[in-house]
C-alpha cells in the first residue's frame, strides 16, 4: 500500500534529448495477472512493470492463497489447490478497477462468490453493466451492491455475446469466461486493443483456440481444464510511448522513443503529423509475444499548429482513450484553437483545466469538451495531482515545458501506471526529482 505522500519537484524550460525505451504495458500486465487464475499450473510473467497497479493485484492474489515469487521484473505465480476469497485484501481491491477482471477467471473456481467494488482513477461514473450483460450470456448472475459484486451461476455454457460497448475489460472478462467453457463462444463488438491482443496470445499458450485476434469478432473454443507451466513476456505500452512523444512535442525537443507498439499509435501520429510535428518511424521488429509490432520513433523540434477538427477517442483502431489527454498538453504549444472531446467520461475533461495554473488558456465547453488555445508560454506552479492517471501525467509534461520551478503533489496516481518515471525523465535531461 502507498506510504507517505510523494511529490515531484520539476524545474522546467530545459531542452531534452536522447533516447528512451518504451516500458512494458500496465494494462497488459494486470490482464495477464488476472488471466493466470485460469491456470492450475505455474505461470511465469516476465518484464512486468514495477508499478502500484501491479502491486495491488499481487496483494490481492497473495491474500486469496496464490503463491507469488517476485524477482526484479519477473513474477512466478503458483495457485493453491483451493482459492480462499474469505481472506481477500479488500483495501487493495477497492484501490484498483482491475479487480473487475477477476470475475471471469473466478467463475471457474466458485459457483458463487463476491468481490469488492472497485476504485482506481476517479473521472466520473464508469458503468460495469457491459461486464454484467456479457457474462449473463454464459449463465452468470451478477448483483452490483454498494460495496461488492455478488456473482452466482449454475452450469456455464458457450454463448454468442454482443457487447454493448467495445470495452477492453469487458472483452477480457468474456474471454476469461469462454476460455474454460468447452465448446465455441463468439464475442462480437469485442475490443481489439493492445491488452486484449496480449490476453489472446496468452490464452493460446494455454491451449485455448481463438480466431479473429485484432478484429471485433473473437471466436473462442474453450477447454475444460488448464494445468500447465507457461512463460509469457509483457509487451510494450503504447501510452508509455505516447507520454514521451508528447513530452518531445510539448518541450520542442528531439527525442527517440524505441520499441514503440506502432499499430496502437498510428492514428495519434497521423493527427500529430497534421499538427506539423516532424518525426520518422523505423521498423523495430516484433515483441516477445509474437503479436505486437514495434518501431523506433524519432521526434524533431517542430512549430505546432492546432488540429483543424475535434480530437476524440474511438475503439481501436481509433485514437486510444488513454492517449487522448496527451493532446491537451500538446495543444498548449500549438498555434490556434484545439477542440478535444473526451466523450467517454463525465469528468475527465475538467481535469485538463489544471493546465491553466501553468499558464495555459483553456475553455471548458461542457463536462466532455474543452478548447485549448496556443501557443502559450507556460510557467511553474504548485499543483496537487488530480485523481486520474493520464490527467496527472500531462501536468508533468507541462511542468517540464514551463519556465521556473513546479511541484506536483501526491503522485501516487502516476506511480499506478509509470515505473521509475522521474529517473527516466532525468536520463533525457529533465530536471525532476522526488520530493
Task: Please give the full DSSP string across 136-174, using - where no structure is assigned.
Answer: HTTTEEEEE-SSEEEEEESS----EEE-SS--HHHHHHH
Which H or E element spans position 336? strand 334-341
Angle in degrees, CA 1, 99, 413, rounded to 5: 45
- At 32 the pLDDT is 98
Taking CA atoms, 389 is separated from 63, 113, 308, in Å, by 26, 30, 27
Residue with cell 471471469: 104
CATH numbers and ranges of domains, the chain: 8-23+236-434 (3.65.10.10), 26-233 (3.65.10.10)
C-alpha cell at 183: 465448446
Find out whether the peptide bond into 203 is cis, omega within 30 degrees of 0.
Answer: no
Name the nearest CA neighbour of 40 among 197, 184, 179.
179
Which H or E element spans position 185? strand 183-188
- At 335 the pLDDT is 98
- At 127 the pLDDT is 58
Residue with cell 457491459: 130
How far apart, in whole angstroms, are the C-alpha atoms of residue 210 and residue 179? 9
How far apart, in whole angstroms, are the C-alpha atoms of residue 322 and residue 430? 23
pLDDT digits (tens, 9 = 90+) for 341-392: 999 888 899 999 999 999 999 999 999 999 999 999 999 999 999 999 999 9
- At 417 the pLDDT is 93
Which H or E element spans position 112? strand 112-116
Count CA atoms within 13 Å of residue 261 on its CB side.
25
- At 343 the pLDDT is 92
C-alpha cell at 134: 456479457
- At 196 the pLDDT is 97
Name the nearest CA neighbour of 214 among 260, 165, 171, 270.
171
C-alpha cell at 264: 496502437
Angle in degrees, CA 27, 394, 280, rounded to 5: 80
Q: Is 214 exposed, middle or buried (0-12, 13-18, 19+ CB in 10 A)?
A: middle
Full-model pTM: 0.95
- At 118 the pLDDT is 73
Residue with cell 517542430: 302
How far apart, in whole angstroms, are the C-alpha atoms of residue 212 and residue 200? 10
Name the nearest CA neighbour of 405 among 377, 383, 375, 379.
379
Q: Is 280 exposed, middle or buried (0-12, 13-18, 19+ CB in 10 A)?
A: exposed
How far apart, in whole angstroms, are the C-alpha atoms of residue 252 and residue 424? 18
Whether 409 and 389 have beta carbons less than 8 Å apart is answered as no
Strands 278-286, 140-144: pairing is unpaired
Q: Encode 61-91: b = buried (16+ Cβ within 10 Å), e = exposed.
A: bebbbbeeeeeebebbbbbeeebeeeebbbe
Residue with cell 493485484: 57
Assign residue 359 a region (left: φ > 0; alpha: ψ between -120 and 50; beta: otherwise). Answer: left
Residues of the chain with pLDDT under 50: 1-2, 122-126
Strand order in the sheet with 17-21: 17-21, 254-261, 293-300, 278-286
Amino acid at each position: 500500500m502507498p506510504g507517505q505522500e510523494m511529490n515531484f519537484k520539476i524545474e522546467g524550460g530545459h531542452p531534452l534529448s536522447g533516447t528512451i525505451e518504451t516500458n512494458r504495458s500496465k494494462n497488459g500486465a494486470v490482464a495477464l495477472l488476472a488471466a493466470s487464475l485460469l491456470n492450475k499450473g505455474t505461470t511465469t510473467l516476465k518484464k512486468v512493470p514495477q508499478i502500484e497497479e501491479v502491486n495491488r493485484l499481487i496483494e490481492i492474489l497473495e491474500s486469496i492463497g496464490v503463491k507469488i515469487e517476485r524477482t526484479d521484473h519477473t513474477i512466478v505465480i503458483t495457485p493453491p489447490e483451493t482459492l480462499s476469497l474469505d481472506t481477500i485484501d479488500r483495501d487493495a481491491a477497492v484501490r484498483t478497477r482491475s479487480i473487475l477482471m477477476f470475475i471471469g477467471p473466478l467463475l471457474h473456481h466458485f459457483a458463487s462468490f463476491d468481490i469488492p467494488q472497485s476504485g482506481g482513477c476517479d473521472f466520473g461514473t464508469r458503468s460495469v453493466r457491459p461486464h454484467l450483460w456479457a457474462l449473463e450470456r454464459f449463465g452468470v448472475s451478477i448483483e452490483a451492491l454498494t460495496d461488492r459484486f455478488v456473482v452466482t451461476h449454475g452450469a456455464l455454457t458457450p454463448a454468442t455475446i454482443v457487447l454493448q460497448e467495445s470495452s477492453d475489460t469487458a472483452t477480457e472478462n468474456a474471454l476469461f469466461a469462454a476460455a474454460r467453457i468447452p465448446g465455441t463462444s463468439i464475442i462480437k463488438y469485442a475490443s481489439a486493443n493492445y491488452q486484449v491482443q496480449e490476453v489472446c496470445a496468452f490464452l493460446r499458450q494455454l491451449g485455448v483456440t481463438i480466431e479473429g485476434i485484432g478484429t471485433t469478432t473473437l471466436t473462442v473454443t474453450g477447454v475444460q481444464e488448464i494445468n500447465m507451466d507457461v512463460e509469457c513476456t509483457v509487451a510494450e505500452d503504447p501510452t508509455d510511448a505516447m507520454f514521451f512523444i508528447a513530452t518531445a512535442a510539448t518541450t520542442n525537443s528531439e527525442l527517440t522513443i524505441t520499441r514503440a507498439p506502432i499499430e496502437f499509435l498510428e492514428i495519434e501520429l497521423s493527427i500529430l503529423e497534421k499538427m506539423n510535428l516532424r518525426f520518422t518511424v523505423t521498423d523495430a521488429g516484433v515483441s516477445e509475444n509474437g503479436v505486437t509490432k514495434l518501431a523506433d520513433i524519432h521526434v524533431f523540434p517542430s512549430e505546432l499548429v492546432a488540429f483543424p477538427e475535434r480530437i476524440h477517442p474511438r475503439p481501436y483502431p481509433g485514437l486510444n482513450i488513454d492517449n487522448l489527454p496527451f493532446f491537451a498538453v500538446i495543444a498548449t504549444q500549438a498555434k490556434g484553437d484545439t477542440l478535444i472531446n473526451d466523450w467517454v467520461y463525465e469528468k475527465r475533461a475538467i481535469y485538463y483545466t489544471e493546465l491553466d495554473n501553468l499558464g495555459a488558456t483553456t475553455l471548458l465547453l461542457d463536462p466532455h469538451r474543452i478548447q485549448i488555445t496556443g501557443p502559450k508560454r507556460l510557467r511553474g506552479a504548485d499543483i496537487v495531482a488530480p485523481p486520474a492517471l493520464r490527467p496527472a501525467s500531462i501536468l508533468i509534461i507541462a511542468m517540464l515545458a514551463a519556465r521556473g520551478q513546479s511541484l506536483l503533489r501526491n503522485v501516487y496516481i502516476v506511480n499506478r501506471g509509470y515505473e521509475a518515471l522521474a529517473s527516466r525523465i532525468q536520463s533525457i535531461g529533465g530536471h525532476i526529482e522526488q520530493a
